[in-house]
Structure 1
Amino acid sequence: MAEQTATAVSRRVLADSVRRATKAPSLHNSQPWLFRIGDRTVDVHADRRRQLDVLDPASRELLISVGAAVFTLRLALRAAGWRPVALLFPEPSEPDLVARVTVPGRLAPTPVVEALSSAVEHRHTNRWPFARSVVPADDLAHLAEAARREGATLTVASAVSRNAILGLAGAADRRLRAQGGYRAELAHWTVPARHRHDGIPPAAIGPWDALETMPIRDFGLLQPQQDRAAVPFEPHPTITVLSTGGDHREQWVAAGQALQRVLLTATWLNLATTPISQPVEIPGLRVLLTDTATDRWAQMVLRLGYGRPAAATPRRPLSEVLLS
């Protein structure tokens, strides 16, 4: 579709697009991003104050989260009829300036853009059991194509690989629970507070797996089996691994953009999703999911299926995420 010459994009459109970008997923809904609106530009910064030091000391997941916000910003601008161009790490002297999104002209949205944009408000992490239904191969192909369009690979685990991955996730979860500061960090992001605009509210935590095969985080609860209902989860979940060629900050941001495109595509297909990040949070286990021979690094594990509607998590208002 041909691009049109256009007047400058208004600040209102840019601000509305930033507001949509804040709907992106992030580790424990930490929302580690800040934005600066300029003339035809939006700069996207990493908010280091929101980094999870115990879970994410290298800031890999922080940059994945910021990458998801960058994709959502691009999508919002496209849905509004503009052509965004994102440049990663545009200023070497400012490492926390992750992306500069410019808007050189107008471009009418495509049906795919409109579909993904309509999914933004409905995408929520679902920590509940899924139906014992097979995800169609055509839907999995759509998800793989979504990842490919953002420079990543989404691989569906075979039955043997799925069981191995869930075993790794369980082992990772146990190691993390034994790690100093882990429970306190989880509790920080789940303690209910009046007017809180981040973190995981109780309604979004979900039940405990009665068979303890699905690695659902305990979110710092001292007695999770007693404080949360225990129900059986699906015995044969659909598990996928999102990977990138290389494992540096640019690839982490790319992984975040691909992750959000996959999640929104899944939402559009009426699929529920659960990121399973424990096995990629421990380097010694993450390497087992990585093909080092081809330099394909596992960045995220996703569970897919059909589930009950999930609760939304709060978002910070523009006043908290906009830099002057």
Structure 2
Amino acid sequence: MSTIPVPPPRQVLLDCVRTATEAPSLHNSQPWRFRPRGAMVDVYADPARRLRVLDPSGREQLISVGAAVFTLRLAIRRAGYLSDLNVFPEPAEPDLAARVTLAHAAAPSPAVRALAAAIGRRHTDRSPFAQTPVPTDVLDALRGAARREGAVLAVAHAAGREAILKLARSADRWLRDRPGHREELARWTVGGTRYDGVPRWAAGPRDGNDMVPIRDFAELAAEPRSSAPFEPYPTILVLATTGDRWPDWIRAGQALQRVLLTATGNGLATTPISQPLEVPWARRMVLDPATGLSVQMVLRVGYGGKTGATLRRPMADVLLPGPHAPAMVPAG
């Protein structure tokens, strides 16, 4: 794929970066920064935004960055350009997670436009879903979305679903007793106007059936958390990769975002259930070791109601100035 001889207008890259910031991230931490230059965009992990208690290795941070990388690629494709992706292109800069380089112009297909149209409509829904099965063809589309980004997506059968949810509940309790957990949760629970974190209105109710462990962002609020019965048989998806290193985490994030956008385009609501993957012993139990796969995310999907969009950081906060990024602490 040949590189375009003349860089695109800078505003094109800035618009694509702005779209990339709509990607999902753990606790809406938005742990990324971007440096557009010429016909490329460098995407950095921001170690100051890593959740040290939940994510000491930086795995979930790089999954979040990978989701932003996919969203950036999709925005560039919608803008009428193909692109090349180079993951961790500079060994001396471990926080430089990806370099996306625009290639020759090409009109976006209807499928690209439809997928990109879901970016602004994709929101995490922590509320009960309808007791309506997800059609097989839609689940097949989600599997295909993960496969296109080099990942594997499996639909948990009944026994597997119960086992995963039991692990998630145990992991949630374990995490809540971890030193520093309450302080970290408080940092990312938003009251008033802020451009990151999870606002209390988006926290969702507690599952009255005590089946689905929804992260309790209202734990530190003065008012008690509401309760509502969730669907008794949720559809649970498991996203996995063949490896478990930094590039695999970026790959997982790209696959995750393609799956989420495909789900949104098919009218589905989505909720990450990451607690069992934040506890080493629980993560090892989500998948049979015989598969040779490393689980990277657990998702709950179904038909929900309308939910609002959480805010995103201003462009001035996510753009790195100058020709070189400032020195950062390694991402993990």
With normalisation by structure 2, the TM-score equals: 0.94
Distance 1:214 1:65, change over 3 A: same
Of residues 248, 267, 271 in structure 2, which corresponds to 1:270? 267
Q: How much does 1:84 deviate?
A: 1.2
Q: How much does 1:219 deviate?
A: 2.0
Q: How much does 1:208 deviate?
A: 1.0
Matched, 1:300 2:297: yes
What amino acid is aligned across from residue 272 of structure 1 in structure 2? A
Which residue number in structure 2 is paired with residue 316 of structure 1?
A: 313
Q: Displaced runs of 4+ in structure 1, greater than 4 A?
A: 2-7
Q: Does the 8 A contact of 1:127 with 1:205 survive in 2?
A: yes
Q: How much does 1:104 deviate?
A: 1.9
Which residue number in structure 1 is paired with residue 209 of structure 2?
A: 211
SS in 2 for 1:68: helix
Q: Does the 8 A contact of 2:195 with 2:313 survive in 1?
A: yes
Distance 1:6 1:113, change over 3 A: farther
Q: Does the 8 A contact of 1:130 with 1:308 survive in 2?
A: yes
Alpha-carbon displacement from aligned partner over 1:41-96 (angstroms, at most 9, x marks no partner): 00000000000000000000000000000000000000010001110000000000
Which residue number in structure 1 is paired with residue 178 of structure 2?
A: 179
Q: In 2, distance between residues paired with 1:42 and 1:307? A: 35
Q: How much does 1:288 deviate?
A: 0.7
SS in 1 for 2:214: coil
Q: In 2, distance between residues paired with 1:255 and 1:5? A: 29
Of residues 239, 244, 256 in structure 2, which corresponds to 1:259? 256
What amino acid is aligned across from residue 214 of structure 2 in structure 1? I
Which residue number in structure 2 is paired with residue 200 of structure 1?
A: 198
Matched, 1:102 2:101: yes
Q: How much does 1:191 deviate?
A: 3.3
Alpha-carbon displacement from aligned partner over 1:92-119 (angstroms, at most 9, x marks no partner): 0000000000012111111111011000
- 1:9-28 aligned at under 5 Å gives the runs 9-28=8-27
- 1:103-252 aligned at under 5 Å gives the runs 103-194=102-193, 196-219=194-217, 221-222=219-220, 227-252=224-249
Distance 1:4 1:178, change over 3 A: closer
Q: CA RMSD in A?
A: 1.6
Q: Does the 8 A contact of 1:272 with 1:306 survive in 2?
A: yes
SS in 1 for 2:289: coil
Q: How much does 1:3 deviate?
A: 9.0
Which residue number in structure 1 is paired with residue 330 of structure 2?
A: none
SS in 1 for 2:118: helix
Q: Does the 8 A contact of 1:80 with 1:109 survive in 2?
A: yes
Distance 1:310 1:220, change over 3 A: closer
Q: In 2, distance between residues paired with 1:111 and 1:120? A: 15
Which residue number in structure 2 is paired with residue 92 of structure 1?
A: 91
Q: In 2, distance between residues paired with 1:191 and 1:71? A: 27
Q: In 1, distance between residues paired with 2:130 and 2:227? A: 16
Q: Does the 8 A contact of 2:200 with 2:218 survive in 1?
A: no
Q: In 2, distance between residues paired with 1:5 and 1:197? A: 35
Distance 1:5 1:177, change over 3 A: closer
Q: How much does 1:4 deviate?
A: 10
Distance 1:87 1:291, change over 3 A: farther
What amino acid is aligned across from residue 239 of structure 2 in structure 1? L
Q: Does the 8 A contact of 2:242 with 2:294 survive in 1?
A: yes
Q: Does the 8 A contact of 1:186 with 1:220 survive in 2?
A: no
Q: In 2, distance between residues paired with 1:76 and 1:134? A: 31
Which residue number in structure 2 is paired with residue 281 of structure 1?
A: 278
Which residue number in structure 1 is paired with residue 327 of structure 2?
A: none
Which residue number in structure 1 is paired with residue 69 of structure 2?
A: 70
- 1:2-81 aligned at under 5 Å gives the runs 7-81=6-80
What amino acid is aligned across from residue 204 of structure 1 in structure 2? A
Q: In 2, distance between residues paired with 1:126 and 1:284? A: 27
Alpha-carbon displacement from aligned partner over 1:8-42 (angstroms, at most 9, x marks no partner): 31111000000000000000000000000101000
Instruction: Give the share of equivalent positions with the same residue, in percent.
Output: 57
With normalisation by structure 1, the TM-score equals: 0.96
Alpha-carbon displacement from aligned partner over 1:216-238 (angstroms, at most 9, x marks no partner): 111261479x6121110000000
Unaligned runs of 5+ in 2: 322-332
Q: In 2, distance between residues paired with 1:137 and 1:294? A: 23
SS in 1 for 2:219: coil
